[in-house]
Each structure stands twice: as structure tokens, then as C-alpha cells.
Amino acid sequence: MDDSRTALITGGSAGLGRAVALALAERGWQVIITGRRAAPLERVAALAPGITACQGDVTDAGHRRRLGSEIAARGRLDLLLNNASALGPSPMPTLAQYPEAELAAVFTTDVLAPLALISALLDPVSRAGGAIVNVSSDAAVEAYEGWGGYGAAKAALDHATAVLALEQPELSVYAFDPGDMRTAMHQAAFPGEDISDRPEPDTVVPALLRLLDTRPASGRYRAADLLSGAAAS
């Protein structure tokens, strides 16, 4: 049983965050989910007794302090899953036409907020011997037309994750690339297109659980590779 373990999941009201929250709660974890919209968070929290909703925006320092207080009251943090992300405008503009304010907002949500949350919660994660997982994207390592803002932000997060792993060798620090998923964000990236061929977020959860269970060396991992490794073993 993992009933003493605690996780904080940003962007926990939908998509991958919701799926991971439910999977960890089923394992007996205490899970705190956060996001900007209260109603979807509460709907997820109502699905399992171990899930607590904490509404707010991770780009807000006051909200991050509230999350810190919530974790302090529990005494430990075994997993910080930085899942909340901003795609940017939809349809996605080319870099040459990218509005500066929109680009800054993407970097604030996708890079600065996760790093600030890591800084605020490093002590409870360290005490628990926990893991920090920053959700990445293949757009961080591949160049796709129109994905310059989001991809550059995720590339920056990947690099920051690698540096953090060197600076905190006692922790498990991962960049996790889930691959394409059937989510509202992915739909916004392809407005008007049918994305029903993309897998549901639930199908990615076993890969993340394998990462947490096996605790390989800190680094960047793709869900597809973790799932194929599980199948081979």
C-alpha cells in the first residue's frame, strides 16, 4: 500500500493530470490537484476520497504559497508532477508573427511557474526522497511549423530539468514526454480537425507509473519507450 504517499499534480482537472490523479488515488496515495477552474477540479476530487482540489493559477505566487502550506500540513511530498501547460494562441502563429505578450505567457506557465514551484517545494520532496516530473513534449526536441512558442518553452523546461537533476542528485528528476494525446490542448493545436485517432490520456498513465515504480536515473523519458520496455520485460 502507498497510503502514506502524497502527490501534487498541476493541471489536474483534465487530460493527463486527471488520469494520473485517479490512478494514484486508486493506489492509495493522497493527491492534491490544482488548476485554474474550480468546478472541473471538484468533479475529479469527487471521484476518489484521496483527492483534494486546490483551485488556483500556478503562475500566481500567492497560490504557490497556499500549495506550500497544504504540503507542509501533510509533512511530505513524494511526487511533484508539473503538468499544467499553456499552448499559446489557437491557431498557433509562426514565430515571426507571435505576439510578445502571448509568448511571455507561455513561458511563464510552462517554464517559470514549474521552476518556482520546484523551488518552493524542494524541501518536502527531498525529505520524502521523492520525484519531480516535468511534463514535456516531442515539440521540445523536434521542429514543427507553428509550434515554436510551445516547443521552445518545453525545450527550456527540458534543459532546466537536466540541470536540476545534476544539482539535486539525491532526487529523481524527470522530463516526461507523453506523446500525442486526445486532449483539449491538442485539439486547440489543430482547430477544426478530427483528432480522434490520438490515444486517450489514460493510456499514457502506465508509462508514468512505471517511471515512478522503477526510478531509473534522472533524465528525459518518452512514454512510448517506457511502455515498450514494460512489454519486453
Query: ∠ CA(108), CA(159), CA(37), 5° rounding?
Result: 30
Sign of torsion over alpha carbons 13, 191, 142, 111: negative
Residue-level pLDDT at 2: 44
Residue-level pLDDT at 5: 95
Supply the pTM of this predicted model: 0.92
Cα distance between residue 179 and residue 153, in whole Å:
16
Among candidate residues 98, 144, 150, 174, the one labeled active-site is 150
pLDDT of 4 above 90: no
Task: Verify cis geometry, omega within 30 degrees of 0, for the bond prior to 91.
Answer: yes
Nearest to 78 by CA among 233, 210, 213: 213
> Which grid cell is 28?
492509495
Q: Please compute the mean of the pLDDT values over residues 106-124 and round it to a whole number.
A: 97
Q: Please compute the mean of the pLDDT values over residues 60-75 and round it to a whole number.
A: 95
Residue-level pLDDT at 186: 64
pLDDT of 185 above 80: no
Band of pLDDT at residue 68, cut at 50, 70 and 90: very high
Q: Please compute the mean of the pLDDT values over residues 92-116 and round it to a whole number.
A: 97
Residue-level pLDDT at 192: 76
Q: Note whether 72 and 60 are within 8 A (CB).
A: no
Q: Where are the alpha helices (H) located in 79-219, listed in sequence order? A: 100-107, 113-128, 148-167, 184-189, 205-214
Band of pLDDT at residue 58, cut at 50, 70 and 90: very high
Clarify whether 144 is annotated catalytic. Answer: no
Query: ∠ CA(128), CA(56), CA(148), 5° rounding?
Result: 90
Q: For residues 195 and 87, which has the higher predicted lDDT (pLDDT)?
A: 87
Q: Please compute the mean of the pLDDT values over residues 62-77 and round it to a whole number.
A: 95
Q: Please compute the mean of the pLDDT values over residues 141-145 and round it to a whole number.
A: 94
Every domain of the chain and the residues it spans: 6-232
Residue-level pLDDT at 1: 36
pLDDT of 42 above 80: yes
- Per CATH, is 6-232 categorized as 3.40.228.10? no
**144-174 pLDDT per residue, tens:** 999 899 999 999 999 999 999 999 999 999 9
Q: Which letter does DSSP use for residue 81 in this model?
A: E
In the chain the beta strands, taken as DSSP E runs, fall at 6-10, 30-35, 51-55, 79-82, 131-135, 172-177, 219-222
Backbone dihedral region for residue 80 (phi beyond 0: left; psi -120 to 50: alpha; all else: beta): beta
Cα distance between residue 153 and residue 87, in whole Å:
10
